[in-house]
Structure 1
Amino acid sequence: MADTLNFDLVSPERSLASFEATAVQIPGSEGDMTAMANHEPVLTTLRPGVLSVNAAGGVSEYVVTGGFAEVTAQGVTVIAERAMVKADVTQEDMDGIIAGAAEAVEKASEETQEAARKVQSDVAALAAALGLNAA
């Protein structure tokens, strides 16, 4: 199809997805964005959130905790710090993500404190969006 783009999602553990998509909704650190075929090239950092991918077979959703997304006219490549199929995320997974964000705030220098708190806030919002506890 002419109106599709290649979608690839990888994390340090494995390649999570690779297929043709019609649109990819990306939780960018500067705001959400949707990439479609023939999109202008852009490289963005990810915030903790839900990555939604529309394809012929329906919508696939993944939870990402950070990383990068490279968008070109031909496709989207997401390199995530951590990525999981949204439906598979448990409270235990979320507790680990929350603990990691809290530890990052504790270890942050004065210069990086604001960014670490922003990530912690994004993690709390992600937990709420998933219907999980953020405490």
Structure 2
Amino acid sequence: MATFHFELVAPDKVLFSGMAQAVLVPGNEGDFQVLSDHAPVMTSLRPGVVGIDDAQGKHVRVYVRGGFADASRHGVIILAETAIPFEDLSADELGQEIKNAEEDLADANEDQKRIAQEKLDRLRELRDSMKLG
């Protein structure tokens, strides 16, 4: 399978930099998969899991929250507000994210409530899908 350059960068570290066969991105408008020679697209990220198939076919998953993804024919870069390797993600950390989102929803004004509720729902879905709660 053809490969392309991929980088996943968090504020404190680079989590992945190298060649990949495919990357699944949790975009705000929905998940999308990037393969070699992908059409250009830029999107903000929603809380979710980035799935990476590296050049050797090994599958890596990283939880991200916030940030942007920029895909082009030449590669993909994800600049994440928060990025935690899936194997390092704990029920306690995700529980804290959910608690923070619940507080954000309680403090939100009418214009912000829909977005805050969607964020909370996605975090709960992620927790449920990971069987951490």
TM-score grouping bracket, smaller chain normalisation:
over 0.9
Partner of 2:94: 94
Q: CA deviation at 1:39?
A: 0.6
Report deviation, 1:56. 2.7
Aligned equivalent of 1:120: 120
The farther-off stretch of 30-39 and 92-101 is: 92-101
Q: Counterpart of 2:84 in 1: which secondary structure? A: strand
1:77-119 deviations in Å (ceiling 9; x for gaps): 1111111110111111111211221122122221111011001
Post-superposition shift, 1:66?
A: 2.0
Structure 1: which 5+ residue stretches go unaligned? Answer: none
Query: Which structure 1 residue ranges, 4+ long, deviate > 6 Å from structure 2?
Result: none
Distance 2:73 2:82 in 1: 25
Percent pairwise identity: 34
List aligned pairs for 1:1-135, cutoff 5 A. Answer: 3-57=2-56, 58-133=58-133
Taking structure 1 as the reference length, the TM-score comes to 0.92
SS of 1:119 mapped into structure 2: helix
The code of the aligned residue for 2:70 comes to E
Q: Alignment partner of 1:111: what SS?
A: helix
| Paired letter, 1:104 | D
SS in 1 for 2:111: coil
**Matched residues in 2 for 1:120 and 1:55: separation?**
30
Give, as a single letter, the amino acid of the residue that structure 1 aligns with 2:126: L
The answer as to whether partners of 2:3 and 2:55 remain within 8 angstroms in 1 is no
Instruction: Kindly provide the CA deviation profile for residues 44-87 of structure 1, in whole angstroms up to 9, marking residues without a partner as x.
Output: 11111111011133111101122111111111111111111101
The structure in which a higher percent of residues are strand is: 2
